[in-house]
A and B are shown apart, each in its own frame.
Chain A
Amino acid sequence: MKMKKLIKKISDFFDTLETDKKGEIEEKEGALQEKLEKKIASKRHKLRNCKDKYAKKELQKEIQVLKKLAANFENKIAAREDV
């Protein structure tokens, strides 16, 4: 009986490790989405204060790319969750 309990405890311990790993990925994805949003916001802020025409154009392009990356990332997560 004691042995059974011990085996269950060990098994539960490893299960927790696996669940933690899944949670860890979700947490990382969330953090990355937040980071992307912050990056876009900071580029927008730079764009507002930018006076140089060339730099302005570059910043606009960068914002577009970041937006596209964010959308792609969101789609990837959604596609995985659907599965």
Chain B
Amino acid sequence: MFQKMERKMYRKIIYPTFLLLLALLLFSNMNSRIIIAGIAIFLVGMVFMDDGFKLFSGGVLEKILEKSTNTLTKSIATGFAVTSIVQSSSLITVIVISFVGAGLMSLSSAIGVVFGANIGTTTTAWIVSAFGVKVHIAHFAMPMLIFGVVFRFNANKTYQGLGNVLVGLGFIFLGIDYMKDGFDSLKEGLDLSQYAVHGFLGAILFVGIGIVATVIIQSSSATVAIIITALATGQIGYLNGLELAIGANIGTTVTALLGSMTSNANGKRLAIAHLIFNIITGVVALVLILQLAHVVDMLAAKIGIARDDYAMKLALFHTIFNVLGVLIVAPFTKRLVRYLEGLFKEEEAEIVRAKYLDEIVVSVPEAALSALKKEVMHLYDNSTEGFAHALSLHRHKFYGRCDIPDIVATSTQKIDTNIDDIYNKKIKALYGDIIHFTTIAQQSMPDSESQTKAFKLKNTAKNIVEAFKDVKEIQKNIEKYAKSKNQYLKNEYNFIRAEIAKTLDTIFSLQNNSDDLEVVSKLELLKEEIKRLDIINNGRIDNLIRENKIDTNMATSLINDSSYAYDITKRLIRVANILWISDEMIQNMGEIA
């Protein structure tokens, strides 16, 4: 309700006001127009870089993040390294949130990556200060844009990704150049540095401006680039620049916070961890700003940064205070995880919904596929209770047993379960979530290979649901004929129950088997076994009718129900083939695939 009101207010008041102010600013001053155009071009560059890395890495980025984050130190180092390369802590944070949501990464590892990403993102400041404001950077932008566009037209996805990265870098460089030109010209008419505010009030004011600017621009890298260009052209004072950078660091958490609103508990936990880290870091940096500035002066002199090169000094300050933040907060990661786990608890709903799918996971193909697979497994797990109870069986009685036909023969008591209720509470909404998620996820999947995988998983979910509906159809007759006085009919229905139970049992036994060949061969054997349910083709029904063992009514019921059972078991084998065989080549080996 509150979120709805906020959204309405944003749409009706804040956004139009922002547009109006922006238009006024653009038309009132030529220089501000150039600066704002520079920011816009810079942001377009960031978007292209993001898209490019998603295409270009082909899942490499995700694999690195998944494999090299098993300890906190490794997580921090990995977060730092990948963010330095990709130049976008937001992209890394989104991937990490999706990984935690998909269960591919622990919360403490994810927090480590976010810490590292905060240090990694300071490399933007180094690039802008060491390179962007010192040379005519637009010269480099042009060839990048040209080659980038040429590559973008290539059919190959890798070329397209590289093209996007080049176009992105080109726009970033061009944006910086525009900002620099804008601030240079602005200085001739208006000197912003005369508005410098010193002391505590100045600190609060400039930190606030840094926060607001970053919230509006939605990129701390862009804010830092503006600060550095303004600093390099002498438009703002050094200390005020440092305060703005602190503000930008806090402001950047708003992007993650907004993104996490629709996320699951893990997404929210990570966004709050990000906020806590950046606020602590910001407060420490603000309190120790003079001491840190002194440390920066000392270090700058040692590494050869000129006394008056404030742009590079700001980059150094940016790195130092983020490293300091990691050193202060990292030792408390475990405590932070415990606190966050207590703060956001997974809700136990009466109607089961998706556990692993959310709006953040959907944007990262690798994580989306993994989350989807887990969710379909979740759907299968939810359905097994219904399958067993519809057969008047309890899973714990026949799982892992080799005498399933005997167990079936002795279990004739009807189980008081409403299969429709199970369907409505545990299957229907969850299946709906899977379909919705897959449809959206497929749009952001760069290659047909990922799209096919997503399609197969969607189809697997459909097979589970269809099988469940089929079991509902045979439940009534099973209950009726399992107690029939006609021994032949009773045996046939017990045979149907046993075959479905054997299928469920075999799948259960294969769920933790990592030997794909073993799994596929067991499923192929099962496939041979269930052919016995095809009573028309194997002639069993003819014998029963011919020898007057069952009447015609019984025969039609038996034919229908055997056919349902055959379909159920075939569908379940297909489900197991996709869910519990990870090697695609092996998946496609069997005839059932």
Contacts and interface: CB of A to CB of B under 8 A. Distances in A.
A39 B583 CA distance: 16
Contact of A72 (B158, B517, B525, B591): B591
A38 to B, nearest CB: 9
A78 to B, nearest CB: 15
A69 B518 CA distance: 12
Contact of B586 (A14, A32, A62): A32
Interface in A11-35: 14, 17-18, 28-29, 32, 35
* Contact-residue size bin, chain A (C-beta under 8 Å from the other chain): 10 to 19
A69 B520 contact: yes
A14 B585 contact: no
Given A35-B517, A66-B517, A61 B589 contact: no
Task: Point out which of B518, B522, B585, B588 has the most chain A C-beta atoms below 10 A from its C-beta.
Answer: B585
A62 B590 CA distance: 13
B512 interface: no
Nearest to B591: A72
Task: Point out which of A14, A18, A29, A65 has the most chain B C-beta atoms below 10 A from its C-beta.
Answer: A65
* Contact-residue size bin, chain B (C-beta under 8 Å from the other chain): 10 to 19
Contact of B585 (A18, A32, A39, A66): A32
A14 B159 contact: yes
B590 A69 contact: yes
Given A29-B585, A32-B585, A72-B589, A66 B521 contact: yes
Contacts, number: 37
Nearest to B523: A65
A69 B156 contact: no
Contacts of A72: 589-591
Task: Point out which of B156, B517, B521, B528 has the most chain A C-beta atoms below 10 A from its C-beta.
Answer: B521
Interface string B551-593: 0000000000000000000000000000000010110111100
A36 interface: yes
A68 interface: yes
A22 to B, nearest CB: 14
B557 to A, nearest CB: 32
B524 A36 contact: no
A38 B458 CA distance: 34
A65 B585 contact: no
A66 to B, nearest CB: 5
A62 B525 contact: yes
Contacts of B591: 72
Interface in A57-72: 61-62, 65-66, 68-69, 72
Contacts of A65: 521, 524-525, 528
Contact of A69 (B158, B521, B528, B583): B521
Contacts of A73: 589
A66 B516 CA distance: 12
A14 B162 CA distance: 11
Interface in A35-54: 35-36, 39
Contact of A17 (B158, B520, B528, B586): B158
B324 to A, nearest CB: 41
B578 to A, nearest CB: 17
Given A14-B158, A17-B158, A39 B517 contact: yes
A61 B528 CA distance: 10
Contacts of A29: 585
B524 A28 contact: no
Contacts of B583: 32
Interface of B: 156, 158-159, 517-518, 520-522, 524-525, 528, 583, 585-586, 588-591
6 contacts: A14-B158, A61-B525, A65-B524, A65-B525, A69-B520, A72-B589
Closest 6 CB pairs of A and B: A65-B524, A65-B521, A69-B589, A39-B517, A66-B521, A65-B525
